[in-house]
Chains A and B, each alone.
Chain A
């Protein structure tokens, strides 16, 4: 399990790349994806300092019969945010999660005509808001700003 410092370092490392992506706005798919992965590490750093949680992967409930995780880490992380932090933190994280998911599927493997891609799916301002609104909300609420 990575430490608080390890998560914080990775979050800030991702933000370094994010600032370059924000400067050009030429890779909005990667912008929203890096913003999401920066948010994940801020959230995990906050979880590390929360004795009721610790870490997403180590707190996922398991099925008593099969021993398998009940939820995927992404789903469980959302549930932890929903139950332990203000609603707007959940919403901002959810916004980044959804955007990064969309970014993965905008470019299709083939067969059906491409109708949109990351550059046109989000305007420049909409792309910036994932950082300036959502990521900032998360950092601020978790005490990292």
Chain B
């Protein structure tokens, strides 16, 4: 950690992310769901060294998150303001950072923000070498799948089934008719998801929604993790319940 004497006077606090989680007066500081492309399976949070060091805790991405991806650029800016202002107002200088629509493009955004705060010498970050469990990796990966595909208008539902180490993700499409443009987009997302989650085996299937009732296509015990009709982000319910 940078010695306190090297920290600019304007920055009254040292922020150290070498811990994977901490309680703050604002609750858990979690960016796991906010920028999945950047965090890529790691657990990350801001930690203020002036505070009493507490036992690091894993962050539950279902319970602690900031939903940047469903927000407008204005809301995104506000959310960042909320986060950073709650820590140290002088730091906050991300208004000039251009926000983008695609989740994969948040990687450079996050790096820009980190660059800003690190240049001020008031912020330090590092990822602790604490590997999440396989189930945690899968949980986070499925959260990413939901995030990415739920933003595609033509995607109506997502089912997940598991057999041994394999995960089959069935993405149901609203339209029956084939569209190369749509498939190109979906394959791009899939490619990125594979790259973000190299340790798990995911097989993606893209089918018209009319296949939803076919148990020879979607396993009866597959979990419904997203449904467009209800705009529901689901923790998982059995596909058999829909047949």
Q: Which A residues form the contact surface with B (CB < 8 A)? A: 63, 70-72, 75, 79, 82, 87, 90-91, 94-95, 98, 101-102, 105, 108-109, 112, 115-116, 121-123, 126, 129
Q: Does any Cβ of A come within 8 Å of B190's Cβ?
A: yes
Complex interface: stretch among B58-66, B87-95, B137-145, B202-210: B202-210
CB distance from A120 to the nearest CB of B (A): 8
Q: Which residues of chain A are near B71, meaning CB under 8 Å?
A: none
- The reply to whether B178 and A122 form a contact with Cβ atoms under 8 Å apart is yes
Q: Which residues of chain A are near B213, meaning CB under 8 Å?
A: 112
- The reply to whether B178 and A94 form a contact with Cβ atoms under 8 Å apart is no
A115 CA to B212 CA, complexed, in Å: 13
A82-B214 CB under 8 A given contacts A70-B165, A71-B201, A75-B201: no
Q: Which residues of chain B are near A91, meaning CB under 8 Å?
A: 184, 187-188, 191
Chain B binding site: helix, strand, loop or mixed by DSSP?
A: mixed
A59 CA to B183 CA, complexed, in Å: 29
Partner of A112, one of B166, B183, B187, B214: B214
Q: Which 4 A-B pairs have the closest CB atoms?
A: A91-B187, A115-B210, A116-B176, A94-B187
User: Per-position contact with A for B187-202: 1 when CB-CB < 8 Å, else 0?
Assistant: 1101100110000010
Query: Which chain A residue shows the least CB distance to B216?
Result: A109
Q: Which of B29-55 contact A (CB under 8 A)?
A: none
Q: How many residues of B contact A (CB 8 A)?
A: 26
Instruction: Give the total number of A-B pairs whose CB atoms are below 8 A apart.
Output: 58
A126 CA to B181 CA, complexed, in Å: 11
A126 CA to B177 CA, complexed, in Å: 11
CB distance from A127 to the nearest CB of B (A): 9
Partner of B206, one of A98, A112, A116, A121: A98
A119 CA to B195 CA, complexed, in Å: 35
- The reply to whether B191 and A105 form a contact with Cβ atoms under 8 Å apart is no
- The reply to whether B205 and A101 form a contact with Cβ atoms under 8 Å apart is yes
Q: Does any Cβ of A come within 8 Å of B134's Cβ?
A: no
- The reply to whether B178 and A95 form a contact with Cβ atoms under 8 Å apart is no
A87 CA to B191 CA, complexed, in Å: 8
A122 CA to B183 CA, complexed, in Å: 13
Query: Which chain A residue shows the least CB distance to B202?
Result: A75
User: Per-position contact with A for B210-222: 1 when CB-CB < 8 Å, else 0?
Assistant: 1101101100000
A97 CA to B35 CA, complexed, in Å: 31
